[in-house]
Each structure stands twice: as structure tokens, then as C-alpha cells.
Amino acid sequence: MRIVVGVRTRATELLGIEYPIFAFSHCRDVVAAVSRAGGMGVLGALYFTPEELETELNWIEDNTGGKPYGVDVVMPAKYEGADLGDAGEMLDRLQDMIPQTHRTFVNDLLDQHGVAPLNDEGVSRYLLGWTDATARPQVEVALKHPIGLLASALGPPPADVVEQAHRQGVTVAGLASSARHARKQKDVGVDIIVAQGTEAGGHTGEISTMVLIPEVVDAVGPDTLVLAAGGIGRGRQMAAGLALGADGVWTGSIWLTVEEADTPEASRDRMLAATSRDTVRSRSWTGKPARMLKTAWTEAWESPESPGTLPMPMQFMLISDALKRINRAGAGDLTTFPVGQIVGTMNQVKPTSRVIYEMVEEYIETMERLSGLIED
């Protein structure tokens, strides 16, 4: 493998990284490994309390060798209970709003598959970062650290959050699944638009990456950087994203099966065996469409017996304990996980650094091949 010093784009110059590869992960080990390898690891803060996030960021800083890293928060513009007071009051009132028919459906589904209940000490924490009220403390913690990037999913971040980040010299990114969403992100002052096609894992829209990227690039104009996301895990896909006008790539799914990942074993094994046809967009995780492994779990929520999914964040509150029970039991038929269509090529466990270097190597080979097609 050749040694590549770096791949220069506006994104690498802005953030001081060697390769325009951004890696979203909830696992601190993956985040640190990507940053050490020359990309930018971005820690998903969603499942951490502010105190836990403080611990995670301290650890990352001790293990990146001074390389840049980022934090991703979820601050949805619309969600059930936005007008119900502080996070504690919201939790209690939303719990009361979950219909018993839905609770019965989930319990019956788990019973059918022989999934044992949790002990009392294993009960999940339902709302950590699914709302504006719960995400703001995470933002406060993140901005006390020398992060290079603050990213926001599920709608434009509040303008005051963008202003606060900019005052501290932090670049702000926002995910968009359409040109309209991208313009809204730009209107609040976001510096980088992550244009995410429907191939992506987790919350995602309906437009394919190939169509979406040039639409977003044209919509936001030349002064706003764009990262290509959705179905990107190879160097050829990285080259395609840059060819479409992006300044880098945003990746997520491919880090779920690297050596450093903390993905539950049952979910990891299903991903390693899956094809690109084995995912589905489903509301059964959070109430908003998210791409995930297609299993008995997703099929049950689409069945005639299903009571239908609940709005965000009530759906996740409903199923949070169930997902923990499934992962603990290793209930293969029900085991699911947010993952994109790139899962079809995620068939081998590799070190994070190797994934980075193989992407860069294939990118270089692709660009050399394409340049050879041009006649003087």
C-alpha cells in the first residue's frame, strides 16, 4: 500500500485534517482511531448524560494525539412534548401518553420470541438527547472542550447554538436530506451541510445520494461546504461524492463492524452476513423514518397486528427497554440496528486505520484511472 500524505479539499483545510473523511460513531474508540488515522472522528452524544459525555470527551482527547475531533447532537425541530416543560416533567407526561395497546404489543412480541424481562437495575434511560431540552446540556459540555466540529441531526440547530459555537471558533455542520432542508441549515448559519442520501443508516430521507449531492451543492452555493453521505464506505464512492461537488464524505455505518466498535455481537454478526437488500426504512426505532436491518422486529411493526408507531420521542421511550432486552438475550430474529445499504460490503472485521487507508488508496486509484480517460 502506497503512503499518501493527504487529500486536500476545502474541508481538510478548514478543519486541519489529512483526509476529507468524517466518521460518525457512538463509540469513543472508533472516534479516536479515525482522528489518529487522519480523518475526523465525530462522537454521537445522543445516549450520554452530560456527565458521561464529559468523561467520553476527556478520554478522546487523551487518545487522539492532539488530532481534531467533533461531537454530534440531536436537536430535532419538531417532536412530541416540546411544550411540556423541562426534561423531567416531559418524561413523566410523555410516559403517561403512551397507550397500553402499544406496551402490550411490544411485550407480546418479546414473549413470542422468548426474550426475558430486564432486572430493575437494567431499565433504560429514555430521554438523553432526543429533544432540544435534553440536547442543550450536551452542547454545553461539548463546547467546553477543544472540539473542531459541532454537528446537528434532525433539522437545523437553533440559531443561538450556532452563534455560541462560532463565538468559540467551532465549525458547525447540519444534516440535510433535501435541498430545502439544506437551505434551512444555511439560513441559521451552518458552515457545512452533510447531504445525506436515502442509502444512509439511521434517520434518512427518500432521495438517493447520487441525485441529492448536486442538488444540495447548487442550492447552498459555492461558499458553503458540502459533505456527501449515504452509502459511502469505499474510495470509489468517496471519489464519486467529490466529483458531484462535495468537499468530503460523512460516513457512519462502516464503523459499526471495525475492531474498535462496541456494537453488540448479535447485531454485528447480522451486519457481517447482510446484503445491501437487507435494510429497510422504518419508524419502529424512533418514530421518524430510519434505515435499519430488516428483521422480525421491523416486519412486526409493519404487520396488520401492529398498533402503529408513535411520534418522536415516544416511540423510543416505548421500545428502549425492549431493545436492551433483545441485545442482552441475543435474540437473533429480533436483533436490529440502524445501518445503511453499505452493509452489503461490510463483511469483514478490520481495524479502523485499515478502513481509512483502504478508502484513501482506492480513491487515489480511482482518480488516476479517471484522469487517464482524458485525451490531451
Domain boundaries, position 182:
10-80+128-255+350-371
> Is residue 74 a contact partner of residue 313, using CB atoms and an 8 Å limit?
no
* Segment 195-227, tens digit of pLDDT: 999 999 999 999 999 999 999 999 999 999 999
H helices of the chain, in order, are: 10-15, 28-36, 50-62, 87-97, 100-112, 132-142, 159-167, 179-187, 209-220, 235-243, 265-273, 296-302, 314-329, 352-371
Q: pLDDT category, 123, cuts 50, 70, 90?
A: very low
- Can you say how many angstroms the Cα of residue 19 is from the centroid of all Cα atoms in its chain? 19
Closest residue by Cα to residue 80 from 312, 376, 347: 312
* All three cell numbers of 198: 436515502
**Do 281 and 250 fall within a single domain?**
no
What is the reported pLDDT for 1? 54
Within a domain: residue 303? yes
**Do 113 and 133 fall within a single domain?**
no
* Alpha-carbon torsion (244, 252, 177, 15), positive or negative: negative
**Do 141 and 73 fall within a single domain?**
yes
**Do 54 and 136 fall within a single domain?**
yes
* Domain at 216, CATH number: 3.20.20.70
What is the reported pLDDT for 324? 85
**Do 117 and 163 fall within a single domain?**
no
**Do 63 and 212 fall within a single domain?**
yes
**Do 56 and 183 fall within a single domain?**
yes
**Do 249 and 363 fall within a single domain?**
yes
CA distance 334 to 59: 33
Rg of the Cα atoms in the chain = 20
Total-model pTM:
0.93
**Do 106 and 135 fall within a single domain?**
no
**Do 91 and 141 fall within a single domain?**
no
* All three cell numbers of 25: 460513531
The β-bridge partners of 25 are: 43
Answer whether residue 126 shows pLDDT above 70.
no
| Number of independent structural domains in the chain | 2
**Do 149 and 283 fall within a single domain?**
no
CA distance 40 to 38: 7
SS3 content of the chain, % helix, strand, coil (to 5): 45, 15, 40
